């Protein structure tokens, strides 16, 4: 981990020109120009069946014109969160708790995966799907577990679609997910700055700012990103209601999403759901800047490697062997 002090997440105002002023005037002209017809288009609700109340309409209207997350003041963040919470209540009767908690000071998250311990139970996958409100219809998974032949270390030689009792003799298992690259090709690719690296090393997406061009998906060398091809479907009773704006809140259709090291949990001091669920203890997560953390112990005392090191992406995810 070179230069953990680098803080891409805290972009200064000077990098992002203050656009408030021109935005306001733009909003004014637009709202004058946009009559009721285009309004229904913008909010995506065809009047009639689903139009709901005028409150819902107003909330959606305000949501449509909101700012990029990183340019919002704390008040604006609170306002959009209360709108999102209210919309979830109006539309699905869900009681959400949504946070906008920023990165903690002096924290850089890292992850290590023990390939000699993992036995391929996929409890992590299940926990992740539940925790992160992943679309059940398309069976979206952030984590994939590859069943590997001995003598191989490249997951592309493995099989991620195994469906049998594990562990199997003479096989080993390798989990992959977004590796939270420090030099992330996906961030570089995005034309709208809708995805960026937070100061604690987590690469996040502003789902409402993303335009769904999928250039980041083409740019990721680890297949770390997923797209909402349709509207995500999660049964009401299975929705995880403790959410983070940049994390597990339910994504809109047509936007990109990815693993966030469970930002809604880790910033509260908890482990990511996958690390907590793992029955074999193969998943180690912690603060790379804390010399006493378990992750630092692993990096110091075990033989570790990272995937596609030659690309220079500098992932914050290591594999190790006992």
Partner 1 sequence: MSTTSQKGFLSFLYDCFRWNMQGSLSFQIFRLLLFAAMAFGIYAYSYQARSGLEVTGMSNIVSWGFYISNFTFLVGVAAAAVMLILPAYMFHDPDFHRVVIIGEGVAVGALVMCLSFITVDLGGPLQAWHLIPGIGQFNFPTSILAWDVLVLNGYLLLNALVPMYILYCHYKGQKADERKYRPFVFLSIFWAFSIHMVTAFLYQGLPARPFWNNPLMGPRFLASAFAAGPSLIILVLAVVHNFTNYKLDKKVFHKLRLIIVISAIINLIMLFSEIFKEFYFPTHHSIAATYLFFGLEGHDALVPWIWTSISGNIIATLILAFNPGDNNPKVLLPACFLLFIAIWMEKGIGLIVPGLIPSPMGEVVDYLPTWVELGVTLGIFALGITVVTWLIHPALILEERYEKMRASKMD
* Residues in touch with ligand SF4 (CB under 6 A): 178-181, 184-186, 189-190, 192, 194-195, 203, 205, 210-216, 220, 222, 224-225, 256, 258, 313
Looking at 55, 89, 157, 305, which residue binds partner 1 (CB under 8 A)? 157
Task: Enumerate helices (H) and strands (E) in the chain, giving the number of each.
Answer: 10, 12
**69 touches, from ligand SF4, partner 1, none (C-beta below 5 to 8 Å by class):** none
Helix %, strand %, coil % for the chain, to 5? 30, 15, 55
User: Taking CB under 8 A as the criterion, which residues in 43-82 touch partner 1?
Assistant: 44, 64, 68, 71
Closer Cβ to partner 1, 253 or 321, answer by number = 253
Instruction: DSSP letter for 81, please.
Output: H
3-state secondary structure of 147: strand
Q: How far is the CB of 184 from ligand SF4 (least distance, A)?
A: 4
Scanning 119-251, the segments in alpha helix (DSSP H) are 123-131, 185-189, 215-219
CB 92 within 8 A of CB 236: yes
Q: Using the rule CB under 8 A, give the single segment among 110-118, 152-160, 241-249, 270-278 that binds partner 1.
A: 152-160
- Identify the residue whose tokens are 């311990």: 117
Closer Cβ to ligand SF4, 96 or 186, answer by number = 186
Looking at 254, 280, 302, 306, which residue binds partner 1 (CB under 8 A)? 254
Closer Cβ to partner 1, 42 or 90, answer by number = 42
**157 touches, from ligand SF4, partner 1, none (C-beta below 5 to 8 Å by class):** partner 1
Give which of 195, 240, 200, 236 is closest to 214, Cα–Cα: 195
Q: How far is the CB of 269 from partner 1 (least distance, A)?
A: 31
Instruction: DSSP letter for 159, please.
Output: B
CB 161 within 8 A of CB 298: no
Cis, bond preceding 167 (omega within 30 deg of 0): yes
- Identify the residue whose tokens are 């090191």: 309
Closer Cβ to partner 1, 220 or 289, answer by number = 220
> What is the C-alpha separation between 50 and 295, in angstroms, rounded?
49
Looking at 37, 48, 150, 191, which residue binds partner 1 (CB under 8 A)? 191
The residues of the shown chain that bind partner 1, judged by CB under 8 A, are 16, 19, 22-23, 26, 41-42, 44, 64, 68, 71, 138, 140, 144, 146, 154-158, 160, 176, 185, 188-194, 208-215, 217-223, 225-231, 252-256, 311
């Amino acid at each position: 981990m070179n230069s953990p002090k680098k803080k891409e997440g805290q972009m200064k105002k000077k990098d992002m020109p203050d656009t408030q002023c021109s935005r306001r005037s733009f909003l004014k002209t637009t709202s004058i120009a946009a009559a009721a017809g285009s309004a229904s288009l913008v909010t995506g609700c065809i009047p009639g069946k689903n139009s709901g109340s005028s409150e819902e309409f107003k909330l959606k209207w305000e949501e449509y014109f909101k700012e990029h997350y990183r340019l919002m003041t704390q008040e604006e963040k609170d306002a959009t969160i209360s709108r999102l919470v209210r919309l979830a209540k109006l539309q699905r009767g869900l009681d959400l708790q949504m946070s906008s908690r920023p990165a903690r000071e002096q924290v850089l998250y890292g992850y290590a995966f023990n390939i000699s311990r993992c036995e391929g139970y996929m409890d992590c996958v299940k926990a992740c799907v539940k925790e992160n409100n992943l679309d059940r219809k398309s069976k979206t998974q952030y984590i994939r577990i590859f069943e590997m032949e001995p003598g191989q270390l490249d997951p592309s030689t493995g099989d991620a679609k195994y469906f049998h009792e594990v562990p199997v003799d003479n096989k080993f298992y390798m989990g992959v997910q977004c590796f939270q690259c420090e030099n992330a090709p996906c961030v570089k690719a995005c034309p709208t700055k809708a995805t960026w690296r937070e100061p604690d090393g987590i690469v996040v997406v502003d789902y409402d700012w993303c335009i769904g061009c999928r250039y980041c998906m083409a740019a990721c060398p680890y297949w770390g990103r997923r797209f909402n091809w349709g509207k995500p479907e999660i049964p009401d009773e299975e929705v995880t209601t403790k959410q983070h704006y940049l994390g597990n809140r339910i994504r809109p259709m047509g936007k990109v999403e990815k693993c966030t090291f469970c930002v809604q949990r880790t910033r509260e001091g908890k482990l990511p759901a996958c690390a907590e669920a793992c029955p074999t203890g193969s998943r180690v997560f912690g603060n790379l800047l804390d010399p006493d953390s378990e992750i630092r112990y692993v990096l110091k005392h075990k033989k570790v490697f990272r995937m596609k090191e030659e690309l220079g992406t500098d992932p914050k995810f290591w594999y190790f062997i006992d």
